[in-house]
């Protein structure tokens, strides 16, 4: 058998098998499989949101946010910069912003000679799909505020306050989490 004949045989076989497979193809089965995938994906996403909200509340009781690692309320600028390096440039005095880490620390002197963190903020992208109602459902009512362009819900977290911030559109609809803060009461 020469190469030309072998090629025609393989091509003919492949076309025949392809025709048989297409004939047994049912688009409804694909749609059903996609629906099951979509339902499973949504369930996993809600489970992830629940775990993230639980972790957020737990870390807030320790004066931390999900992106701050070991740093929290009362950490000093020196401690943070020793581990993370210098903060972003052109930021107001009293703020250490680490955009690549989605974290900002706000410093004050309190009654001590050294500035220390009194507020932490995270803009971690894992919060981007968490809605206002999901936060309320998981963490409770909290102290709520809604303005023309923003809304927030605050919760007590032992010695600290945990606050979720949301954008509000022109129609008054509250969007998903924009940022999360932990601060001294």
- Mean pLDDT of all residues in the chain? 85
Q: How many helices (H) and strands (E) does the chain have?
A: 4, 7
Beta strands in 31-126 (DSSP E): 95-98, 103-108, 116-122
pLDDT at 47 (0 to 100) = 72
Average pLDDT over residues 13-38: 52
For the segment 118-128, the average pLDDT, to the nearest whole number, is 97
Stated as kind and residue range, the H or E segment containing 126 is: none
DSSP string, 17-48: HHHHHHHT--HHHHHHHHHHHHHHHHHHHHHH
Classify the C-alpha dihedral 79-82-87-91 as positive or negative.
Answer: positive
Q: Domain limits of the chain?
A: 26-184
pLDDT of residue 109: 77
Q: Check if the beta carbon of residue 184 is closer than 8 Å to that of residue 160.
A: yes
Report which of 48, 51, 29, 50 is spatially closest to residue 40, judged by C-alpha positions: 48
What's the pLDDT score for residue 166? 98
Which residue's entry shows tokens 């694909």? 30
pLDDT at 9 over 80: no
| Class of residue 79 by CB neighbours under 10 A (exposed 0-12, middle 13-18, buried 19+) | middle
What percentage of the chain exceeds 90 in pLDDT?
Answer: 69
Mean pLDDT, rounded, for 151-163: 97
Phi-psi label, residue 90: left if phi above 0, alpha if psi -120 to 50, beta otherwise? left
104 three-class SS: strand
- Sheet with 179-184, strands from edge to edge, namely 95-98, 103-108, 116-122, 179-184, 160-167, 150-157, 143-146
């Amino acid at each position: 058998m020469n190469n030309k004949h072998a090629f025609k045989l393989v091509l003919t076989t492949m076309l025949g098998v392809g025709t048989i497979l297409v004939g047994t193809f049912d688009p409804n089965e694909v749609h059903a499989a996609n629906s099951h995938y979509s339902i499973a994906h949504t369930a996993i996403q809600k489970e992830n949101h629940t775990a993230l909200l639980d972790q957020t509340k737990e870390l807030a009781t320790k004066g931390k946010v999900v992106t701050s690692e070991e740093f929290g309320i009362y950490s000093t600028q020196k401690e943070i910069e020793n581990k993370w390096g210098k903060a972003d440039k052109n930021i107001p005095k009293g703020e250490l912003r680490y955009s690549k880490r989605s974290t900002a620390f706000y410093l004050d002197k309190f009654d001590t000679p050294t500035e220390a963190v009194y507020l932490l903020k995270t803009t971690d992208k894992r919060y981007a799909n968490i809605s206002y109602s999901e936060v309320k459902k998981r963490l409770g009512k909290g102290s709520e505020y809604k303005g023309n362009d923003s809304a927030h819900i605050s919760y007590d977290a032992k010695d600290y306050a945990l606050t979720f911030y949301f954008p509000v559109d022109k129609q008054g609809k509250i969007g998903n989490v924009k940022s999360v803060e932990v601060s001294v009461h």
